[in-house]
Amino acid sequence: MNIQLEKPFEFLRRKEDNAYYEKGIVENWYKARAFVLDRLKKVAFKPTDNDNLNVFVYADHDEQHLSPLMLAVVRQIALTAHYLNFFEGDEKAPPRNRTVITIVSKNPNIKKELEKEEYLCNLLKYSKYSEGDSAPQNEDSYVDLEFHFVEKWTKMETYRFTEKSVEDFCAMKINNGVDIFSIDTRMADYAQRMYSLGADFDNLPAEDIHCTKRYSAALDVFHYKKLNEPPKVLFNNECPISSLCKIKEKISNILCADCFLIRKKSIEKCGEESSLKGHELWADFNESLSKSEHARWVVEKLILGYRPMNTEECFHYKSLQVEPNGKNLQKVYQNTLKRNDIDPAHIDLCSYRELRRINPKDLKYDSFLMLAIPFILEKVNKKTIIKNLYNIIKNLFKKIFMKTEKYNPQPIDTSDIELPEELNSLLEAMAKNVHEIWAQERIKQGWKYGEKRDDKKKTHPCLVPYEELPEEEKVYDRNTSVETLKLILKLGFKINK
């Protein structure tokens, strides 16, 4: 029942000397991941929304140095912030609704400094960007991000990230017992299983790629067979001797799975204006989801150091098509390029429209994954609920039957749960009932009202109706009720009237 926690970023190595990264740099990646996933968890756009996310990041550590932590935050935003309303442009209209990452720094060479970052530089090369008041570059880029470089804040930032805000968030999580330096890799493991579905998936033709009924057989295999196999560890003792590209492929599954809950939030937003529910909703918006997933994948690969195939490579790839056994030769050539540790290239690093033209068979991976996500989320959520209930029963057993020299309270962390407004009336009713139960028990024990608490005389000033309690005493009862409701939601249960 254990959650599968791993430390994947430790396995990444520098391209130039194959050396591992310093501990501080790796820890920054984990901190940035925890912070950004939390801060952007409520952001979602429907395909029809003509809007975008604009995040401001203060990149300076001091007057002379950039903050390595905030560079990691920029990278994590780029890996995370991909939405259904991005339009990559066509013959009639330019791209729109990109996520904008505004980097605030007094360093006049901030862009050049970022280009030195091994796991960021390729992204800047292919993205739209502008420096200060200068004209934007790469305006027709198919990347769904754009970068602005400015020297100071404006007064309009909704999302403003600073080094202090990240450090404070991480300190709070660590103090609450949350391990931000490990990653639950179950969803990543489940996601990569779609590559081993066999003929039901491999033989799907490239036509009508968003006709979701075509995936029914493959989905059944995935749902009833692949997801019922126990989760496997992604990183083991063989990883340190693996090629860098193989390590990146494993990391890729984790980065992909990190966005599953963001996809779910987008689907929930789409569901506000649709009569469809559950899996039908995911199927109905499959095309928008698939395009957004391809845009996310493009950014991920650019960050991990991949590049598009150049003109010479494209020509050679096309020339193989006329050779005997041409399709297999093309596949071998693709694998050779993308598994080059020094300078990997990928044929799919292009716009979604271009991919449909040059390599349409790969479109099915995005479409199938978007249909598989709700099954994966249900699987992981079910196991998490069972684990939490198991731990509750286990802790109760210890409390009742085992004596411990030192009691260390470990309540379930519910800080990520927000109660909806419609539960306010229930919250107040529960708080009142908590007080009534407490008062009833006190009176049974012989206590009575008194202006001051006296344990010998058994008098207590709070033995009055809930409505007459001082506000600070009501807060105590409300807090108990709040944590109870949060725990119910945390464990996956729903509260319906």
How would residue 400 be classed by pLDDT, with cut points 50, 70 and 90?
Answer: low
How would residue 387 be classed by pLDDT, with cut points 50, 70 and 90?
Answer: low
pLDDT at 389 (0 to 100)? 60
Q: pLDDT at residue 241 above 80?
A: no
- Measured in Å, how far apart are the chain's first and last C-alpha atoms? 32
Tens digit of pLDDT for each residue in 14-35? 888 888 999 999 999 999 999 9
Look up residue 397 and give its DSSP letter.
H
Q: pLDDT at residue 404 above 80?
A: no
For residues 223-234, average pLDDT: 89
pLDDT at 376 (0 to 100)? 93
Task: Please give the CATH number for the structural domain made up of 414-490.
Answer: 1.10.490.160
Which stretch, 131-140, 241-250, 414-423, has highest mean pLDDT? 131-140
In order of 38, 45, 286, 381, 439, the CA distances from 270 in angstroms are: 21, 8, 12, 22, 47
pLDDT at 158 (0 to 100)? 80
pLDDT at 177 (0 to 100)? 87
Which stretch, 79-83, 149-153, 178-182, 486-490, has highest mean pLDDT? 79-83
Percent of the chain with pLDDT over 70: 93
Tens digit of pLDDT for each residue in 80-91? 999 999 999 998
Q: pLDDT at residue 157 above 70?
A: no
pLDDT at 452 (0 to 100)? 87
Pairing of strands 183-184, 5-6: antiparallel
Distance CA 274, CA 101 (A): 31
Q: At 460, phi and psi to the nearest 5?
A: -150, 130
For residues 157-170, average pLDDT: 91
Q: pLDDT at residue 252 above 60?
A: yes
Q: pLDDT at residue 386 above 60?
A: no
pTM: 0.77
**How do the domains of the chain map onto residue ranges?**
9-181, 307-348, 414-490
pLDDT at 260 (0 to 100)? 95
pLDDT at 89 (0 to 100)? 92
Q: At 146, phi and psi to the nearest 5?
A: -140, 150
Nearest to 475 by CA among 415, 442, 411, 427: 427
How would residue 1 be classed by pLDDT, with cut points 50, 70 and 90?
Answer: very low
Pairing of strands 99-104, 183-184: unpaired
Give 128's strand partners. Answer: 146
Q: pLDDT at residue 117 above 70?
A: yes
Strand segments, DSSP code E, in 70-144 are 99-104, 128-131
pLDDT at 493 (0 to 100)? 82
In order of 448, 451, 459, 464, 489, the CA distances from 443 in angstroms are: 6, 16, 10, 11, 33
